[in-house]
Chains A and B, each alone.
Chain A
């Protein structure tokens, strides 16, 4: 992580960090990179690759549509809704 990557991530995520926040974030990632370096140093050549963290597979359901959830209940917590739509600040494609 460096300043250039951070600025790019800010842009992609539509975030605007203050200089202080940027410094904190860079410091945070520097610590995490140091942690990862410890993990990276472990010899895992003989360890089988883990596909998934949970010991489960094929958790599947049949293709059957059910009654939809009540729209008004879903939108009850929305900051803004109009005519059945969620309403958000204007977004340009």
Chain B
């Protein structure tokens, strides 16, 4: 018998806020354990949560980017379950009136475009992290992540293969990153995915027994997990190897197997009820319009705009991977009018400095307008390429005006050709052997002379001009 796979995804995305969703502790990962905690996010009795407005803004933004209807009255509810990473023994989430419902995400498949329906996007707080200590045979709890704002994007079961799942996740990632909702970095856990999967005979409209694999955080692991689960379900149905039950499973990527974690709770088990401590949110027309006004174009639309400006597909693709890069480019281009040059400076020099600093493209903080001024200084021959790179390094450290910095640090290209020729003559006279070798046909012999001249001139000479003047000087001699 032939089977078809039915997959729905629940994707958790950490929102890019500075503080947590219901208290003012920092939303920052990687710091010392329990260094961003307070009585509210530790679930101490009597504490009152206060909702972070920016988190709601980002929830709405995500909804709009995914073509959802935004609920103008959205509320928070308590979802009760017991686990040590949840200090209040309940999670504040949205059950009865989530921020966004009924959206679509279009993906490309081998059979053409396909719309995946989004059932809802709800906001909620994250849980803490558990560390299992084998020495003391206890569990250690870190609440830094507790109450970090999340959205959960719940799809309808419209996906039918691992390829479609990957296309859907990549599309979500692209849209949410571009709208600055989240960094969506699976390797850091800022984007995680639960895979709900069942199989059914091809052509059947009845859903099979569904299992859920929790907290998948790599694309390759998701592919392997889906392949394994499909085989396991088929084996169970055709060969009776096991009884399929609705349950939550854990994927062990090293073993290449999934393992039962627990019987799947049903909604009733969670005893959802309105959280009396978190007041409803009413989104008026002004608020709705303000968020709508901040939405970026879809990445592919922006990419085409960049290509129309003269960028290569490669550069346009790179810039639209990050709204931060794109905004920087837009400002630089507006200041200089030099499309390709601005893209090159971002794609090579800026990314190179970020990489050296151990940062990502979303960490680019330099002023795009000033980057454009710098690119123009190079384009106009006012500052040499080498010196411009030094200025760029400074711009990563402090907010400097590139021209003022170049003037203050003797980095302006000299227009005084007599002075340049004096330097060249001195270098040629002091390095007669290299000059003779060049005259004798060894073209490479000019390179050390060129380097010495440039050093003496502190880089303040247009390279082509210097080379021409150097050759003229050598041949005169």
Number of A-B contacts (CB under 8 A): 136
Residue in contact with B141 in the complex, picked from A8, A60, A88, CB distance below 8 Å = A88
Residue in contact with B37 in the complex, picked from A56, A58, A68, A92, CB distance below 8 Å = A68
Interface of B is mostly: loop
B281 touches A58 (CB 8 A): yes
A interface footprint on B1-35 (CB within 8 Å = 1, 0 otherwise): 00000000000000001110000111110001111
Q: How far, in angstroms, from A54 to B44 measured CA to CA in the complex?
A: 22
Given A71-B37, A93-B250, A88 and B84 contact (CB-CB distance below 8 Å) = yes
A interface footprint on B79-99 (CB within 8 Å = 1, 0 otherwise): 001111000000000000100
Taking CB as reference atom, which chain A residue is nearest B266?
Answer: A8
B82 touches A51 (CB 8 A): no
> B340 to chain A: closest CB distance in Å?
37
Taking CB as reference atom, which chain B residue is nearest A80?
Answer: B138
| Contact-size category for A | 35 or more
B280 touches A63 (CB 8 A): no
Q: How far, in angstroms, from A91 to B35 measured CA to CA in the complex?
A: 23
A87 touches B139 (CB 8 A): yes
B390 within 8 A of A: no
A64 within 8 A of B: yes
- Count how many chain B residues have C-beta atoms less than 8 Å from C-beta atoms of the other chain: 54
A16 within 8 A of B: no
Residue in contact with A66 in the complex, picked from B24, B35, B130, B140, CB distance below 8 Å = B24
A85 touches B24 (CB 8 A): no
Q: How far, in angstroms, from A69 to B44 measured CA to CA in the complex?
A: 13
Q: Which residues from A are CB-within-8-Å of B84?
A: 86, 88, 91
B239 within 8 A of A: no
B404 within 8 A of A: no
> B47 to chain A: closest CB distance in Å?
11
A42 within 8 A of B: no
A83 touches B140 (CB 8 A): yes
B24 touches A61 (CB 8 A): yes
B261 touches A93 (CB 8 A): yes
B386 within 8 A of A: no
Q: Which residues from B are CB-within-8-Å of A85?
A: 33-34, 131, 140-142
A12 touches B137 (CB 8 A): no
A interface footprint on B31-59 (CB within 8 Å = 1, 0 otherwise): 01111111100101000001111111000
B269 touches A88 (CB 8 A): no
B136 touches A87 (CB 8 A): yes
A interface footprint on B159-187 (CB within 8 Å = 1, 0 otherwise): 00000000000000000000000000000
> A73 to chain B: closest CB distance in Å?
9
A86 touches B141 (CB 8 A): yes
B54 touches A84 (CB 8 A): no
Given A74-B39, A91-B130, A57 and B281 contact (CB-CB distance below 8 Å) = yes
Q: How far, in angstroms, from A87 to B276 measured CA to CA in the complex?
A: 30
Q: How far, in angstroms, from A23 to B217 measured CA to CA in the complex?
A: 45
> B173 to chain A: closest CB distance in Å?
23
B73 within 8 A of A: yes
> B146 to chain A: closest CB distance in Å?
11
Taking CB as reference atom, which chain A residue is nearest B282?
Answer: A57
Q: How far, in angstroms, from A48 to B34 measured CA to CA in the complex?
A: 44
Q: Which residues from B are CB-within-8-Å of A13?
A: 82
Given A60-B53, A64-B18, A88-B141, A12 and B33 contact (CB-CB distance below 8 Å) = no
B272 within 8 A of A: no
Q: Which residues from B are CB-within-8-Å of A88?
A: 84, 138-141
Taking CB as reference atom, which chain B residue is nearest A55?
Answer: B279
Given A62-B53, A84-B34, A85-B34, A52 and B141 contact (CB-CB distance below 8 Å) = no
Q: How far, in angstroms, from A92 to B132 measured CA to CA in the complex?
A: 8
A interface footprint on B390-416 (CB within 8 Å = 1, 0 otherwise): 000000000000000000000000000
B279 touches A56 (CB 8 A): yes
B143 within 8 A of A: yes
Q: How far, in angstroms, from A62 to B50 measured CA to CA in the complex?
A: 10
Residue in contact with A68 in the complex, picked from B35, B83, B265, CB distance below 8 Å = B35
B26 touches A63 (CB 8 A): no
Please name 20 further chain A to chain B contacts, defined as beta carbons within 8 Å, in addition to the given A83-B33, A92-B132, sorted by A numbering. A12-B265, A53-B276, A54-B279, A58-B282, A60-B53, A60-B56, A62-B53, A62-B54, A64-B18, A64-B24, A74-B34, A74-B38, A74-B44, A82-B138, A84-B34, A85-B131, A86-B34, A87-B133, A88-B84, A91-B84
Instruction: Name B's A-contacting residues (CB within 8 A).
Output: 17-19, 24-28, 32-39, 42, 44, 50-56, 73, 75, 81-84, 97, 130-133, 136-143, 250, 261, 265, 269, 274, 276, 279-282
List 28 interface pairs A-B (beta carbons < 8 Å), by A numbering: A9-B269, A12-B81, A12-B82, A51-B280, A52-B279, A54-B276, A54-B279, A58-B281, A61-B51, A65-B18, A65-B19, A68-B26, A68-B37, A68-B38, A71-B34, A71-B37, A74-B42, A82-B136, A82-B140, A83-B33, A84-B32, A84-B35, A85-B142, A87-B139, A91-B130, A91-B132, A91-B139, A93-B261
Instruction: Name A's B-contacting residues (CB within 8 A).
Output: 8-9, 12-14, 51-54, 56-66, 68-69, 71, 74-75, 80, 82-93
4 nearest interchain CB pairs?
A63-B54, A85-B140, A65-B26, A69-B38
